[in-house]
Amino acid sequence: MPPPQQRISKDAWERRLHDVPVTKADLNRLIMDYLVIEGYKSAAEEFSQEANLTPPVDFESIESRMDIREALQRGDVEHAINRVNELNPDLLDLNHALHFKLLQQKFIEFIQQKRIPEALQFAQEELARRGEESPEFLSELERTMALLAFDATPNPPPAIAELLSPAQRMKTAGEVNAAILESLSQGKEVKLMGLLKLLCWGETLLEERAEFPKLNVLDGTFSESSRS
């Protein structure tokens, strides 16, 4: 039989948590990290002054990232590429996968706008060459080119249809944003999200050994264990 589990009361659990040292400076850095990565430029500027924090990046780069993300979300890939080159002229030259993603998105936008002749020309001049130079892009290139065959089909296969969904724009924008942050030596994911994932992982491990109050991440409260 498995050994009996230890039961930790809510009061005892909260006392243990209160004994863990967390400085105001640590909390301030978590807040600044969130504001910078999520693109809240004005809030980050104000918070850096109030908390007397040195910003991890130039605030103008935040505005540029948000401009790039918004351009991709509305389908203006050309503007996004120009802004990426202004922010970091070497990024697309060094990151071939990211450059391909942007060119792929531009082709998709041609299809969305029913500009088929331009899509064909763009595919021949840009996408085909990328596939020849980098075989790892071939499978994705084939899936993208299949848009031409299913352009007039009301119900294309799911793998093809998802390229035309709003989620595709969001995915491309997210990958570009992450690449820019990495080029700025900034984390690609909000540290607070990483801590929440670590919390969930820790709770899962602890469940094997003890009964303890679970954190409700929505309101920050703890609930007593329901086990008997």
Do the domain assignments include residue 65? no
Do the domain assignments include residue 62? no
Quote the CA–CA distance of 222 and 14 in Å, as a whole number. 8
The domain tally of the chain equals: 1
Do the domain assignments include residue 101? yes
Task: Give pTM, 2 decimals.
Answer: 0.73
Quote the CA–CA distance of 125 and 119 in Å, as a whole number. 10
120 close to 148: Cβ distance less than 8 angstroms: yes
Count of all residues that appear for the chain in the document = 228
Which of 66, 65, 168, 156 minimizes the C-alpha distance to 107? 168
Do the domain assignments include residue 99? yes
The dihedral formed by the CA atoms of 135, 137, 142 and 144, expressed in degrees to the nearest 10: -160
Do the domain assignments include residue 148? yes
Do the domain assignments include residue 195? no
DSSP three-state, residue 214: strand
> Residue 145 is part of which domain span?
88-183
Quote the CA–CA distance of 207 and 39 in Å, as a whole number. 37
pLDDT tens digits, the chain, 228 residues: what are they?
455 467 878 788 778 878 888 888 889 988 988 888 888 888 989 999 999 988 777 888 889 999 999 999 999 999 999 999 999 999 999 999 999 999 999 999 999 999 999 999 999 999 888 888 888 888 899 999 999 888 767 788 888 889 999 999 999 999 999 999 888 877 767 788 888 888 888 888 888 787 877 777 666 666 665 443
87 close to 180: Cβ distance less than 8 angstroms: yes
Do the domain assignments include residue 4? no
Do the domain assignments include residue 110? yes
37 close to 11: Cβ distance less than 8 angstroms: no
